[in-house]
């Protein structure tokens, strides 16, 4: 159950640049972000909450499933989990997440020469 838990934003790098790269120009960047991961074997529910907004996905690692982007668009992908590392190929970026100690470290990389890498570190609460 490496991912299970509730995490609160501690720091982030390149978030505004990342939001611009994926077309979320008006998103608030100064909010308290809480990520909650419920894990039952290979079944996950991943939820992010800021005041007045919640984004959630349910998936089974290793199986193709329908997911939703932060903008509400549905897509199909296979989430992979190896040990304490997770990988999700979103349409506009690639997300990796890893638990190290009591930290959830998320990296999102947009493709291309001018790609943006966004990093968020959250502490277990």
- Report DSSP letters for 36-90, one per residue: EEEEETTEEEEEEEETTEEEEEEEETTSEEEEE-TTS-EEEEE-EEETTEEEEE-
Residue numbers in the chain where pLDDT is lower than 50: none
The pLDDT value given to residue 10: 95
The pLDDT value given to residue 30: 64
Give the Cβ contact number of residue 4 at 10 Å. 14
Residue 22 CA to residue 29 CA, distance in Å, equals 14
The pLDDT value given to residue 76: 97
Domains of the chain, CATH where assigned? 5-124 (2.40.128.20)
Neighbour-count burial of 1, counting CB atoms closer than 10 A to its CB (0-12 exposed, 13-18 middle, 19+ buried): exposed
Question: What is the model's pTM?
Answer: 0.86
The pLDDT value given to residue 72: 85
Instruction: Report CA torsion sign: 11, 93, 58, 84.
Output: negative
């Amino acid at each position: 159950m490496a991912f299970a838990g509730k995490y609160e934003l501690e720091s982030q790098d390149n978030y505004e640049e990342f939001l611009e790269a994926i077309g979320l120009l008006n998103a608030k960047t100064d909010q308290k972000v809480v990520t909650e991961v419920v894990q039952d074997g290979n079944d996950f529910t991943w939820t992010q909450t800021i005041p007045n907004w919640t984004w959630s996905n349910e998936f089974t690692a290793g199986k193709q499933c329908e997911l939703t982007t932060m903008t509400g668009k549905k897509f199909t992908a296979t989430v992979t989990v190896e040990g304490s590392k997770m990988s999700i190929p979103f349409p506009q970026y690639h997300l990796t997440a890893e638990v190290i100690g009591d930290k959830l470290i998320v990296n999102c990389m947009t493709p291309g020469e001018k790609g943006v890498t966004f990093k968020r570190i959250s502490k277990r609460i």
